[in-house]
Structure 1
Amino acid sequence: MTAEVHQHSDRAIIERSRRDPEEFAALYDRHAPAIHRYLARRLGRDLADDLMAETFLHAFRQRDRYDPERLNALPWLYGIATNLIHRHRRREVRFWRAVARTGADPAAHSADEGVPDRVAAEGVRPRLADALSRLDRGQRDVLLLTASGDLSPAEIGAALGIATGTVHSRLSRARAKMRAALGGIDPLDLREERHDG
Structure 2
Amino acid sequence: MGSETVGEDADLVLRSRSDPGRFAILFDRYFTALHNYAARRLGSAGADDVAAEAFLIAFRQRASFDPRRGSVRSWLYGIATNLIHEHRRDEERGYRAHSRAAAEPTFVEDVERADARIAAASARDCLVAALAGLSPEDRDTLLLVVWGELSHHETAAALGVPVGTVGSRLHRVRRQLRAALNDVNPVA
TM range, smaller chain? 0.7 to 0.9
Q: Report what 2:40 is aligned to.
A: 41
Deviation, structure 1 residue 34: 1.3
Is the 8 Å Cα contact of residues 101 and 126 (structure 1) preserved in structure 2? no
Aligned length: 168
Provide the residue aligned with 2:20 in structure 1. Answer: 21
Alpha carbons 1:96, 1:130 under 8 Å: kept:
yes
Is the 1:10–1:73 contact (alpha carbons within 8 Å) kept by the matching residues of 2?
A: yes
**Structure having greater relative contact order (Cα 8 Å, sep ≥ 6):** 2
Q: Aligned residue for 1:175?
A: 174
Normalising by structure 2, what TM-score?
Answer: 0.79
Question: 2 CA distance for matches of 1:101 and 1:7?
Answer: 44
Distance change >3 Å, CA 61–CA 186, structure 1 → 2: farther
- Cα-to-partner distance string for 1:93-145 (whole Å, 9 max, x where unaligned): 12333444567xxxxxxxxxxxxxxxxx9543222222111111000011111
Quickly say closer, same or farther: Cα 1:29–1:99, change in 2 above 3 A: farther
**Secondary structure of 2:67's match?**
coil
SS in 1 for 2:17: helix
Amino acid at match of 2:28: D
Corresponding position: 1:12 with 2:29: no
Q: Cα gap change, 1:22/1:99 in structure 2, threshold over 3 Å: closer, same or farther?
A: farther
How far is 1:65 from its partner? 1.1
1:140 counterpart residue number: 139
C-alpha deviation, 1:162, in angstroms: 0.6
Greater Rg, structure 1 or structure 2? 2
- Please name the residue that 2:154 is paired with: 155
Structure 1 pair 11–125 and aligned structure 2 pair: CA distance change class (3 A) = same
Aligned to 2:52: 53
Distance verdict in 2 for CA 1:180–1:59, change over 3 Å:
same
Change (3 A) 1:122 1:22: farther
Gaps of 5+ in 1: 104-120
Call closer, same or farther: CA 1:186–1:179 in 2, change over 3 Å.
farther
Task: Write the deviation string for residues 70-96 of structure 1: whole angstroms up to 9, x where unpaired.
Answer: 784111111111111111221111233
Report how far residue 6 of structure 1 moved. 6.3
Q: Could you tell me how far 1:146 is from its partner in structure 2?
A: 1.2
TM-score, normalization: structure 1? 0.75
Matched, 1:88 2:107: no
Matches of 2:146 and 2:19, distance apart in 1: 35
Say if 1:175 and 1:186, in contact at 8 Å, map to a contact too. no
Provide closer, same or farther for how the CA distance between residues 76 and 135 of structure 1 changes in structure 2, counting only shifts above 3 A.
Answer: same
After superposition, the Cα gap between the structure-2 partners of 1:140 and 1:71, relative to the gap in structure 1 and judged at 3 Å, is closer
Determine the C-alpha separation between the residues in 2 that align with 1:59 and 1:143. 23
Please give the root-mean-square deviation of Cα atoms over the aligned residues, in Å.
2.5
The answer to whether the 8 A contact 1:14-1:23 is kept is yes
Q: Which residue of 2 aligns with 1:106?
A: none
Residue in structure 2 matched with residue 126 of structure 1 by the alignment = 125
Q: Give aligned-pair identity as a percent.
A: 51
